[in-house]
């Protein structure tokens, strides 16, 4: 399995050169379908269009062809984090305060390994979630195994695309 920290160090400058912020680098699929997933976004819009994905994919492919950091065959997937984005960076918690998140823990906290709740605040070391029937729960960031926003009407409204021009038109090739 590839070293994610080492791959991130190779990928991050390529994303930054395009004006993109790296959201996540992960390896999925095991031996049967190994996939290197790279999520990035434009810091000013939190979005990524297909030309951004293509440009970043080309830069990563060129860099990896040169250095060959992954021994086995794999598939490269470059994408936007999407609307129900993963929360992977410390600033994500402050940026998305007021929205609902699902937080999975590496070890139980108060007998639970998962909390669904509204992000109340973050101090950089922990996040406070407002959880139904429990009230506010403080979760150390170091204990989080994975977290993502939960798709809600409020999230959809807050993350509407910058432009929907052309979305209602069908383009036929040929």
How is the chain split into domains, by residue range? 4-79, 90-152
8 Å CB contact between 88 and 24: yes
Give the tokens for residue 64.
């990896």
> Which pLDDT band, with edges at 50, 70 and 90, does 174 fall under?
low
Residue 41 CA neighbour count, 13 Å, CB half: 18
Are residues 149 and 87 in contact, defined by beta-carbon separation less than 8 angstroms? Answer: yes
Residue 146 has pLDDT above 70, yes or no: yes
CATH topology of domain 4-79: GMP Synthetase; Chain A, domain 3 (3.30.300)
Distance CA 79, CA 169 (A): 23
For the chain, list the strands marked E by DSSP: 21-28, 35-41, 75-79, 100-109, 112-122, 126-131, 135-140, 144-149
43: pLDDT strictly greater than 70: yes
What pLDDT sits at residue 159? 81
| Contact between residue 51 and residue 83 where contact means Cβ atoms under 8 Å apart | no
Q: Which helix (H) or strand (E) holds 5?
A: helix 4-17
Report d(CA 60, CA 95) in Å as an integer. 28
The pair of three-digit structure tokens given for residue 45, joined into one six-digit string: 């819009």
Q: What is the pLDDT of residues 51-72, one digit of tens each?
A: 999 999 999 999 999 999 998 8
Q: How many CB atoms lie within 10 A of CB 84?
A: 16
Residue indicated by tokens 């108060």: 110
Condensed to tens digits (0 to 9), the pLDDT of residues 79-104 reads: 999 999 999 999 999 999 999 999 99
- Please say whether the beta carbons of 42 and 20 come within 8 A: yes
Q: Tell me which of 3.40.50.10860, 3.40.50.720, 2.30.30.180, 3.40.109.10 is the CATH number of domain 90-152.
A: 2.30.30.180
């Amino acid at each position: 399995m590839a070293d994610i920290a080492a791959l991130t160090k190779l990928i991050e400058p390529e994303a930054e050169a395009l004006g993109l912020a790296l959201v996540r680098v992960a390896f999925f699929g095991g031996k049967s379908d190994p996939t290197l997933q790279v999520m990035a976004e434009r810091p000013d819009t939190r979005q990524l269009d297909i030309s951004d994905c293509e440009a970043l994919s080309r830069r990563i492919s060129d860099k990896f062809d040169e250095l060959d950091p992954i021994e086995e065959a794999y598939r490269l997937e470059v994408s936007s984090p999407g609307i129900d984005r993963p929360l992977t960076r410390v600033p994500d918690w402050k940026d998305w305060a007021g929205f609902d998140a699902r937080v999975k823990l590496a070890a139980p906290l108060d007998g639970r390994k998962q909390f669904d709740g509204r992000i109340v605040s973050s101090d950089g070391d922990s996040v406070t979630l407002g959880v139904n029937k429990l009230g506010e729960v403080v979760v150390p960031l170091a204990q989080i195994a994975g977290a993502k926003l939960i798709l809600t009407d409020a999230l959809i409204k807050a993350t509407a695309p910058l432009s929907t021009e052309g979305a209602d038109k069908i383009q036929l090739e040929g």
